[in-house]
Amino acid sequence: MEQLSWSHYKILIPIKDINKINYYIDQIIKRNLSKRELENIIKGREYERLPDKTKEKIVSNVDNKIEDYIKNPIIIKNKNNYEEISEKILQQMILEDISSFLSEFGSGYAFIKNEFKIKIGNNYIDLLLFNIEFNCYVVVELKVTDLKKEHIGQVEVYMNFIDKNLKKDNQNKTIGIILVRRDNKYIIEYSSDSRIISRTFELV
């Protein structure tokens, strides 16, 4: 493979799991990863943080959905060693290294705006993204608490606003991602909107 150098191969050779190797080869090609970038994502246990269903799809060569490559937990770099973490501070940490943050969601993401104002009360979307591969907007809400049912309703309102006011006819419906301290599978299981994805975050 022309995209892989001998330096890439030297990093991959010690890995015993062929599925993990295939995943990282695919990422090298898709993201044009350098030797150092490959070392960093392996060190960050990117493959291990994929959902189990995603790993099964990779083995079976099944088409993936946008949520399949969103890691869990999402790693956020705390470069300034903040001790007290509010939603504003969490957003600031993300913006300080937005490219690393976007790579935690997979490939094809573009950052549009933080604190995106919507015309419903005095509400702002924490982060608005667009995924080129899946041709859809992505609303990201940041919570420093455990996942609560009201978070689902909030994100649904934001997603519907984007679909009605920004989405073009040739684009897919908006996806919602909620980042929380601790997940609640029960709430997600009984959410009526499968486009809402919940992930935990971890500071490093």
The model's confidence at residue 193, banded by pLDDT at 50, 70 and 90, is confident
The model's confidence at residue 2, banded by pLDDT at 50, 70 and 90, is confident
Per DSSP, what are the bridge partners of residue 110?
Answer: 130
Residue 30 CB neighbours (<10 A): 13
pTM above 0.95, yes or no: no
pLDDT of the residue at 200: 96
Q: How far apart are CA 69 and CA 72, in angstroms?
A: 9
Per DSSP, what are the bridge partners of residue 196?
Answer: 176
Instruction: Tell me which residue has tokens 């330096």.
Output: 7
- DSSP class of residue 66 equals G
The HSE-up count of residue 57 (CA atoms within 13 Å, CB side) is 13
